[in-house]
Amino acid sequence: MLIKELTDLNGVSGNEKEVRDFIKDKINNFCDTIKIDSIGNIIAYKKGINSKFKVMLSAHMDEVGFIVSGHTDKGFLKFKPVGGIDDRILPGKRVLVGKKRLCGVIGSKPIHQQEKDEREKISKVKNLYIDIGAESKDEAEKLAPLGEFISFDSEFIEFGKNSIKAKALDDRVGCAVLIEALKNSFEFDLYACFTVQEEVGLRGAQVAAYNVMPDVALVIEGTTCADVPNVEPYEYSTIQGNGAALTIMDRTCICDKELVQFLHDVAVKNNIKVQYKQTTSGGNDSGQIQRTGTGVKTASISVPCRYIHSPVSVMSRSDYESVERLTIAALNQMSKNKDFLKSLSKLTSGKEQLTK
């Protein structure tokens, strides 16, 4: 399964090569050119039948993880998070260090050595360390030099009727959708951008979008899902099993209203389950893409992921399928209905405004 293959790869922000090489190989036969830009994005171009418009699909290849920041005298690794990670989930987790995937575990001071107030507090990253079985500082430095990237070690598992657990669902699900989309042909020019460094500040997408200067962009993502105990329904953000999640507004972007409505209509028409994301927190590449050049009509379609940014992200297979189907159905609809693309991409001309 494509998502299994993708989530088994390690690609912490700034170190996406493994993912990039895999994707390049997968899409090679389905596009006209593949460009790797200076920051490391893949920009896969598929010429349209009647290429008047440029549509950009975007999914980020990177995942949250860690980086080696020091070594103790006894050979433990000190580390820093790369991207947003909840400190509470760290103690006791397995990690993979560096290209050779050295086994490591995140440890902390044993509970019976902790003072009462220490027990009640959450262990901060600075008080944690990674044990890679090294016996000295020298050995640790050799095995895991400063700056080495570290990923969660977590297997892809299918469980229950419809659930999948893995690390890095955010945003390998998006990568999978882009790979599938490239297998289709459209009227417009399609640019599938697999971006880097989203988790540390939407960095790759900024240059990818500048390069492409698209008329329309769809960002395919894994997003937060808080439909769990002790959360009020109005705080759920998305609901697992309720289908593809459309963003109206988040911290980085107010999505193009017309485009969001279009996506919703396409979903309804094709019997694809769809929901609106019901909180305005979080952000993704759409924030950067939207404000590129003279502006890009942008929207995002996401797979709800519980426990996102952890080694045990959980999603529903049917939600993934909804996102994949909706993305491709929307592209097909844009392909058929050129007037829609035209209305989105058009700068309303001076004359038209003046005579209105």
Q: What is the nearest approach in angstroms of another protein to the Cβ of residue 257?
A: 7
Q: What is the nearest approach in angstroms of another protein to the Cβ of residue 11?
A: 28
- Does residue 229 interact with another protein by CB under 8 A? no
- Does residue 297 interact with another protein by CB under 8 A? yes
- Does residue 211 interact with another protein by CB under 8 A? no
Pairing outcome for strands 65-71 and 216-224 = unpaired
Q: How many CA atoms lie within 13 A of 195 on its CB side?
A: 34
CB nearer to another protein: pick between 78 and 291 = 291
Specify whether the CB–CB gap between 63 and 13 falls below 8 A.
yes
CA distance 68 to 77: 7
CA distance 258 to 274: 16
Specify whether the CB–CB gap between 84 and 64 falls below 8 A.
yes
Q: Which of 74, 99, 121, 257 binds another protein (CB under 8 A)?
A: 257
How many residues form the binding site for another protein (CB under 8 A)? 29
- Does residue 230 interact with another protein by CB under 8 A? no
| Region near another protein per CB under 8 A, out of 43-51, 177-185, 201-209, 347-355 | 347-355
Q: What is the nearest approach in angstroms of another protein to the Cβ of residue 192?
A: 21
Angle at alpha carbon of residue 50, lines to 47 and 54, rounded to 5°: 60
- Does residue 265 interact with another protein by CB under 8 A? no
Q: Which of 27, 296, 326, 331 binds another protein (CB under 8 A)?
A: 296
- Does residue 349 interact with another protein by CB under 8 A? yes
Q: What is the nearest approach in angstroms of another protein to the Cβ of residue 242?
A: 13
- Does residue 234 interact with another protein by CB under 8 A? yes
Q: Which of 133, 147, 160, 295 binds another protein (CB under 8 A)?
A: 295
| Region near another protein per CB under 8 A, out of 37-45, 80-88, 108-116, 277-285 | 277-285
DSSP-assigned states of every residue in 261-307: HHHHHHHHHTT--EEE--------THHHHHTSTT--EEEEEEEEEBT
Q: Which of 290, 302, 310, 335 binds another protein (CB under 8 A)?
A: 290
| Region near another protein per CB under 8 A, out of 42-50, 144-152, 289-297, 315-323 | 289-297
Q: What is the nearest approach in angstroms of another protein to the Cβ of residue 322?
A: 18
Angle at alpha carbon of residue 12, lines to 37 and 243, rounded to 5°: 90
Q: What is the nearest approach in angstroms of another protein to the Cβ of residue 281?
A: 8
- Does residue 271 interact with another protein by CB under 8 A? no
- Does residue 161 interact with another protein by CB under 8 A? no
Q: Which of 249, 265, 268, 343 binds another protein (CB under 8 A)?
A: 249
Identify the DSSP state of 112: G
List, by residue number, the catalytic residues: 198
Angle at alpha carbon of residue 77, lines to 72 and 80, rounded to 5°: 120
- Does residue 184 interact with another protein by CB under 8 A? no
Specify whether the CB–CB gap between 225 and 308 falls below 8 A.
yes
Q: Which of 51, 280, 337, 343 binds another protein (CB under 8 A)?
A: 280
**Which residues in 306-345 contact another protein (CB under 8 A)?**
345
Q: What is the nearest approach in angstroms of another protein to the Cβ of residue 224?
A: 13
- Does residue 293 interact with another protein by CB under 8 A? yes
Q: Which residues contact 57 (CB under 8 A, 6 or more apart)?
A: 177, 178, 181, 190, 191, 192, 193, 217, 218, 219, 220, 327, 331
CB nearer to another protein: pick between 219 and 296 = 296
Tokens of 307: 């426990």
Is 132 in a helix, a strand, or coil? coil
Q: 152-160 — which CB contacts under 8 Å span 24+ positions?
A: 152/65, 152/93, 152/94, 152/95, 152/96, 152/310, 152/311, 153/93, 153/94, 153/95, 153/96, 153/103, 153/311, 154/94, 154/311, 154/312, 156/1, 156/3, 156/4, 156/7, 156/8, 158/317
Residues that bind another protein (CB under 8 A): 233-235, 248-249, 254, 256-257, 260, 276, 278-280, 290-297, 345, 347-350, 353-354, 356
